[in-house]
Structure 1
Amino acid sequence: MRPDTLALHTGVEFCPHTGAASVPIYQTSTFHWSDLDQPPDFDYARSGNPTRAALERAVAELEGARHGFAFSSGMAAITGALLTLPAGSHVIACEDVYGGSYRALTQVFRRLSIETTFVDATDLDQIAHAIRPNSRALYLETPSNPNLRITDLSGAIQIAKAHGLMTIVDNTFMSPYLQNPHQFGADVVVHSATKFIGGHSDVIAGVATCQDDALASEIYLIQNGFGAVLGPHDSWLLLRGLKTLPLRMRQSQESAARIAAYLQQHPKVQRVFYPGLPDHPGADIHRRQARGPGAVLSFDIGGANEVREFSKRLRLPLFAVSLGAAETILSYPARMSHAAMPQSQRDHLGISDGLLRLSVGVEAVEDLLEDLDSALHAL
């Protein structure tokens, strides 16, 4: 089925027991055993819950995977995948990575003797040259956060497979609707489901998918053993969000393309980062591996003073951490998503004090453009 149809027909669209058009919220912590010798499918809600199981199946279907796992946050999903690595492992990661992922890799996993080398993953040679005898995983974002750099998934994954590395791809910016890294051989795909999958700024969640049965058992061991599981009500909210994911993504992406084109020609804007622009580095690669440029763009307006004035004058966007919601959200990476990253690393990556990230919502694009134009005109 096409993605638009699949979002509504993942096999969990109604309750198999009652025919209800919405999977019930099984708000329970435990389950009755009717027979000691025949344990039930669900026995304790940390280990499994029917509402969560329905979400996990739906996400796996959308990503083209065999197994899905729902975690209490995007970072729980990311760290859950990384915790399958043995102590002493070496990870290769794209250097322009989400600030929370950077913090986990440099401050948390280092305590477990798991070391990370950050490379410019848009240059496949850098990935190959970073491989060591103890390298065990390649961690990627494409498009990356916040400058939307594009990594050739097929090429990078081929290098990883040739050296026995597990590949983990954060697919949050694209959502399962626009990009499916498993198609290119990715071992694990992770999402901050708080973002486009949820889509309404009302839930914190993460998901991970994989193909391999043995790897799925390892991820489940971490999910169950560490207990960072998603609750039934939050699982239900994501199931509801998935139903409108295609509609939201199409509207937001169409508006993002118009806004990016507008910002690119504005004299107060120094640079725009958006895969839908013809001159965006890696735009051709992105078109080969994704079904669209997405709804997130970044742009530089000079410095912190300009950002302060600009954000004060905007009326419509929420000025906040996060992205992927029905409402437009403007973020300031240097103080929000990438605050955990040292200034020197931000400077190296071009995450300047004038850089803003815009996640375009489903408002009328004409209203958004008028609001942006008015705020820029005042600078």
Structure 2
Amino acid sequence: MTTDQPAKPPSSAENPMPVRTVAVKVAQWIDKLGAVWVEGQITQINLRPGTRTAFLVLRDTAADMSLTVTCDPDLLRNSPVPLQEGSRVVVYGKLSFFTARGTVSLRVTEIRPVGIGELLARIERLKALLAAEGLFDPRLKRPIPFLPNRIGLITGRASAAEHDVVTVATQRWPAVQFEIRNTAVQGPTAVPQILEALAALDADEAVDVIVLARGGGSVEDLLPFSDETLCRAIVSAKTPIVSAIGHEPDNPLSDYVADLRAATPTDAAKRIVPDAAAESALLRELQARAAAALRGWVDRESRALQQLRSRPVLADPLRLLEQRHDEVERFRTATRRAINQSLTTESTATRHLREKLSALGPAATLSRGYAVVQKVLGKEREVVRSIDDAPAGSQLRIRVADGALTAAALGSQSLGPRKESTPND
């Protein structure tokens, strides 16, 4: 039966580890990494005659990091492609920690230069990857402001690209302002410096647009502008970015992810800064067109008003009233005539009816000698229609045409039965 060994107490201020122990432990851990393939760019070669070790500095192409590399000098001398500072290589080796100096180096046994064909193939693969992610989608492009207040410019120090952009932009619009960041535009330090400048300008609220400018170059010189980290930083920026690398045959990937691609730095200045003279001429032309349009509109409206004024109803507005007045007078005369005629007709008819009524009325009968005999019974009176209605002694009232008489019945005399008339009589 075995028992677990007690763990060694950790180091402390009272029980510290010596340097040699720490160095040995670090060397053991690094040794466990084993052999690896590493890609980078050679920034320094130290090959002294008569020595059996060559020293190189291998730098990351997208970050400010480097690694010391040692190798057999024959690897450099027998390389199929001459190796020099700036060459892209892939090396195979094993990390070693030198306990005496406390340094780490990569001891390589194989160096493979990365040729132009391989670099272009890698760029094409990265291009396909970025396109598949939609980073080239035109809908993601941010609009370039018509008149930027301040332009951020990332370019080489005292370069022709800087001179072209500043000169052309100032000539086109003298009031334009620049925020210039000079960086390396090729080599292993280009990408880190461009990323740092891009982040600083993107964070500046006064910068309205950023221009990446370089005056062309070979495929190797333009490699930093096809770096994946830089491409993703361009897409992530909130400020519109213009890529003006100035290399027509082979477009770096920054041209695809930027919001605007310019053929040259001069073309970039022309496309982001309006021409003051051209804009003034355009403004004068628009003013002239607006004035002509306004005059034309006034002329059309004046003609329309003149046509309206020439119409009879507006030329002599009282004419219709006068015409209507005459019609009203004619209607009034006709109405008055019709009323008078109707009154005359009705008056005549009334007179005829009155004459008929008078002829047939009691008064006319009385005027011809007839009388109405009434028997007086106190306050009441009854018309006497028969001798039986007025026996002798009855008090009578006899009405004639011009008055009434009071009489008394003295007696009566019958006239005999009334002979009935026949139609043949």
TM (normalized to structure 2)? 0.23
Larger RCO of the pair (alpha carbons < 8 Å, separation 6+): 1
Greater radius of gyration (CA): 2
The structure richer in strand per residue is: 2
TM (normalized to structure 1)? 0.25
